[in-house]
Structure 1
Amino acid sequence: MSRITTPFDATTTAAEVLRGIDLTGLRVIVTGGAAGVGAATSAALVGAGASVVLAVRRPEQGERTAGRLRADVPGASVEVRPLDLADRASVRAFVAGWTGPVDVVIGNAGVMATPELRTPEGWELQFATNHLGHHGLVTGLRDALRAGADRTGRAARVVALSSAGHHTAGIDLDDLMFERRPYDPWVAYGQSKTANALFAVEATRRWAADGIVANAVHPGGILTDLSRHLSHEQALAIGIVHEDGSPAEGFKTPEQGAATSVLVAASPLVEGVGGRYFEDCAEAVPASDDRPLVGVRPEALDPESAERLWDASDALLATR
């Protein structure tokens, strides 16, 4: 299985990836599609003709973004629907309210490095939001994705936004919620991002025969509202900003960060591909100790862990 490369790189924007591609008729859901990388992802897709649903926790923010998209692209098909990924009832309501096929789901929304917070079920917030919410959403939309594949004759696609943060931690299947080990915000974030990659592995294994594939994406370092839980001092200490608050060298714009997402979501260059991890508009190389935070670690693609995590996630979401 050869590694997938493209003519694009870390400096490419989402609009450049989709240049010349007509997405008219494609129905796409983008979680967190109203801000940051999500908004840039939505803008590129709308600009290429796709019909985009912004699935957002704050509908008023979504409507502002939708208004800008409609102003920029006359006749654009943009809809806003409420979705709180940390709330099972909200996820179920979104799924129950969906009708017709869907061609692409982009799991863009997420939280990072939060203090120790828990949902009403007692679930650790980063795992619940970044992984479990998306797991419930996509599994709930399986029939709609299958219908999308049947309608177009091409694979329906799921894009799971992971992160280089997955290098920080694998999956502790015996203590997913930090009930026995001390809570660490970066370990919790890393675990949730490894979970995103494993979801893509197992979704492809289970659903490829239905015409559904999933891949994980690292968008790159982008200074967005995702870092809102970090103080200026913390952001300085880990090297993501300068003293004046500007992004550190090597950071991408939101439009560059969205490029890998739209490549995996809509480019013919990755048609039918699933179960892989992409960064900088190409399939990632295996991680190595001499290049920190570059590439994909083997535990993020481990099929046994992926299957066990899927079953554990189903069980958690089924509990009352």
Structure 2
Amino acid sequence: MIEMVIDARRKDLGGFEVGRVLPFHSRRTVGPFIFLDQMGPAEFAPGADGINVRPHPHIGLSTLSYLFEGEILHHDNLGYTQVIRPGEVNWMTAGKGIVHSERTDPLRRSQGGALHGMQAWIALPDEAEDTDPSFDHHGETDLPAYENGGLFARLVAGEAYGAKAAVKTHSPLFYVHWEMQEGVRTTPPPGRGSGGMSERALYVADGTIEVAGREFHAGQMIVLEPHAEPTVKSLTRATVMALGGEPVGERLIWWNFVASSQARIDDAKADWQAGRMTLPTEDDLEFIPLPDVPSTPEPAPAPVEPKPTDPV
């Protein structure tokens, strides 16, 4: 039932840790999910920097931010300023190009507090790579939820279990958040053999679960076989993200750029270097410079900053 297990690589981003799950050297994507980080869990002391990702560009993808605890302040060059809080979604489609920053709000920084969540990149299909950029924020009422018998489930994006989230996706996918009390059993959305998605995975954000007679712990992704229909049992209280979808084709990753061709990446590099991609009006005093390294079709597996080849 299990194709592969991927252990998140813990990366220190200067006082803040993420668990980098995708891309992995032998498994770059799950459906259209081409990048997956677990942010934290972290506890910031009053006055600490918190999240402080300077303005930077993207092409060829949608970013999906989802929190379990805390909040993040988003600015982009479309004019959107939006705080995201637990149970909400920030969905940003870069298309042909967007610039944004992610910060801890100054008031929140002064107070300190917890931060824990997930950030995913979803590669756009060929026909949407050059779409106009857009940003949408969705509250809990836009995301179908279910609770019964010790299981809480929220459909963060896509379609699953006969429900559809309000998030406007560009290709078939699902992204589900489970909160499971000890001893709960549930099943992921169906696979290829049952008319479901051809690629699926489970990511354990907290706790311990059992799948196909094996134990899995926080920081592990279980990539399922296409036809597998496993039961998932929580051995402790657990937080799990179920994700999957249909692949969109071969994609290159360089820094924050995702594209179906090297030419698209080279164009984006030139645009950022020349200042043709504007900064957010509300956050235009600094930015992350273009890394001074050659392009490569291999995914960048290292942390956001300070290394210049890393996605942010």
- Pair in the same fold by TM > 0.5: no
TM-score by length of 2: 0.27
TM-score by length of 1: 0.27
Which has more strand, going by share of residues?
Answer: 2
Which has more helix, going by share of residues?
Answer: 1
